[in-house]
Amino acid sequence: MGEEPRLVRVLLEYDGTAYHGWQIQPNARTIQEVFESVLDRIHKGRTKATAAGRTDAGVHARGQVIHFETTLGMDALAWRRALNALLPDDVVVLGADFPPAGFHARKSAVSKTYSYTILNSSVPSAFLRDTAWLIPFPLDAGRMKEGARFLIGRHDFSSFRSSTCTARHPVRTLSRVDIGRAEDLVRVTVEGDGFLKQMVRSVVGTLVEVGRGAIPPESIASILEGRRRALAGPTAPARGLCLERVEYPEGYRYSRIEN
């Protein structure tokens, strides 16, 4: 045992298909529950883990960041190996380090990047069934790009949040909303300083409406101004969404440990 507790930070990826999101819930399997149960086994006692993003049920992550406190003297590589030896195959620690005092996985973050994958095909994919939204009708990625530009900047995103969202302040800043297409795959990438509940999925659902020609690209501006969820498009399914990256200020940036 070490003399003083210290913070451990891990970079985590997971397939969220079999989980009811990150946060612990009664009678439901969650990423936090699984991760903390492994920490409890290693520490032989209760250990709480805090995540940068509280992903919803069915949402995936390639770049989730988690911190927890420990008094064990293990180095970063030993932490990665010990956690991966006990975690299920659909939850993987990519690396670990020891951030400076004061670091908080969620509160210290300055931006998060999410991607959303759409399979724009009349034929389903056995391999993408849990990681992409199947859209069988044609989508015009150019129209979606036109609509996306209205989302850039600081806005009240009340029209793009869940009716159960409890955030007191709905204003967020998006620095990037990109639409990319490679054959049948359309990918929406969104970067911002924070996100409301189901905000990215609501944005994607609305951009799909633009892409299929149901609403004009410039209608995004009036949807934002209206500040009512009913004005926007449907909420895209959780399975296409992935937390890609979390950014921190200079002093808190992540140092990935290889090998």
DSSP string, 182-228: ETTEEEEEEEES---TTHHHHHHHHHHHHHTTSS-TTHHHHHHHHT-
pLDDT number for residue 259: 46
Candidates 3.40.50.150, 3.60.20.10, 3.30.70.660, 3.40.50.620; correct CATH number of 111-244?
3.30.70.660
pLDDT number for residue 255: 67
pLDDT tens-digit series, residues 182-224: 999 999 999 999 999 999 999 999 999 999 999 999 999 999 9
> Residues of CATH 3.30.70.580 domain(s) within the chain?
6-108
pLDDT number for residue 156: 96
pTM for this structure?
A: 0.94
- Would you call 97 a catalytic residue per the annotation? no
Which H/E stretch holds residue 27? Answer: none
- Please, are residues 157 and 172 in contact by the beta-carbon 8 Å criterion? yes
Burial of 8 (0-12, 13-18, 19+ CB in 10 A): buried
- Please, are residues 208 and 188 in contact by the beta-carbon 8 Å criterion? no
Question: Was domain 6-108 assigned CATH 3.30.70.100?
Answer: no
Residue 128: partners with Cβ closer than 8 Å, 6 or more residues away = 117, 119, 134
pLDDT by residue for the chain (259 residues), tens only, comes to: 456 899 999 999 999 999 999 999 999 999 999 999 999 999 999 999 999 999 999 999 999 999 999 999 999 999 999 999 999 999 999 999 999 999 999 999 999 999 999 999 999 999 999 999 999 999 999 999 999 999 999 999 999 999 888 888 999 999 999 999 999 999 999 999 999 999 999 999 999 999 999 999 999 999 999 999 999 999 999 999 999 999 999 988 876 555 4
Rounded Cα gap, residues 176 and 166, in angstroms: 25
Rounded Cα gap, residues 252 and 82, in angstroms: 24
pLDDT number for residue 1: 46
Nearest alpha-carbon partner for 227 in 157, 173, 151 = 157
In the chain the first and final C-alpha atoms are separated, in Å, by 25
Residue from 15, 40, 56, 178 carrying the catalytic annotation: 56
Which H/E stretch holds residue 237? Answer: none
Which value, in Å, is the radius of gyration of the alpha carbons in the chain? 19
> Residues of CATH 3.30.70.660 domain(s) within the chain?
111-244
